[in-house]
Amino acid sequence: MTTRRVSPTVPTRRVASTLRMYRERKGMGVGEAAAAVDHQSSWLSRIEGMENRPHPNDVQALLMQYDVEQPIIEAVKAVARQSRKRGWWYPYHDVLPDWFGQYLGLESDASTIRAFDGLAVPGLLQTEEYARAMVQALVTRQSSAEIDRFTRLRIERQQRITDDEDPVQFRAVLDEGLLWRQVGGRQVMIEQIERLLEVGQRPNVEIQVVPSSAGAHAGMDGSFVVMDFPPLPTPFPTIDDRIAYVDLLVGAKYFDNPAEVAPYEAVWEQLRGDALSSDESDALLRRIAKRLAAH
């Protein structure tokens, strides 16, 4: 039995979205709403922008101004309390970029993750040695001890896949080219492919490969992730809770507007159609591992 780890990221987003939704329904501007509870507009802007986590009492004061019913207020306050806790990754905060902490929080609470990767194996599927090689290549000017800790953090993330009670549904589409790239050396890559074959047998994991023979495809602009989140029970209001994530050289970009998320979903479905089936992908993985072992 595994214990679900604390993540304040999604609760923070949900509280911010809910406060903004009810403020807009009430027809109040940010400055007007903030003044009604004796604060400046910048205070509310930071809350709605997810820069600050509001105290539950402030959540109640705002929702009362928006004429929200008390059962809903109590539900939102409960989520606001969750948002004020430290994330499970906090012990690694000294080696963790802020933007990656936000990603870990989203990943921790997602119900479904759909990922396309064209350059590297997704973090949730990496072996420790593959992850170490990636960290050494990407994280500069860090000591060996810091590299060890960042590598350990990458591996601890994988509890989301192996959780027996509430595993994330993980759907990955990989470009064949990344499987030939010998990250960490030939033996590390062989072990990484074996790991893909092993984890791909889990009922909550699906791995497909777009073969090189497919030529140009819709994912050639870069890797991305689409996450879905489970709805909260009533009376918490229903909000559209889906995010697209794109890695950048010095950070990341998040999209939560449905009109912005939709193109990523469409591209992912197109890539899935271009990819080999799971069984065909497994056969390709075995052929690649065999070729690597023969050299």
Predicted pLDDT at 1: 45
CATH of span 90-294: 3.30.870
Q: 3-state SS string over the chain?
A: CCCCCCCCHHHHHHHHHHHHHHHHHHCCCHHHHHHHCCCCHHHHHHHHCCCCCCCHHHHHHHHHHCCCCHHHHHHHHHHHHHHCCCCCCHHHHHHCCHHHHHHHHHHHHCCEEEEEECCCCCHHHCCHHHHHHHHHHHCCCCCHHHHHHHHHHHHHCCHHHHCCCCCCEEEEEEEHHHHHCCCCCHHHHHHHHHHHHHHCCCCCEEEEEECHHHCCCCCCCCCEEEEECCCCCCCCCCCCCEEEEEEECCEEEEECCHHHHHHHHHHHHHHHHHCCCHHHHHHHHHHHHHHHHCC
Q: What pTM did the predictor assign? A: 0.89
**What are 20-67's pLDDT values in tens digits?**
999 999 999 999 999 999 999 999 999 999 889 999 999 999 999 999
Report the pLDDT value the prediction gives residue 95, as an integer from 0 to 100: 82
Domain covering 10-84 in this structure, CATH number = 1.10.260.40
Domain boundaries, given as residue ranges, for the chain: 10-84, 90-294
Which residues does the chain have with pLDDT short of 50?
Answer: 1
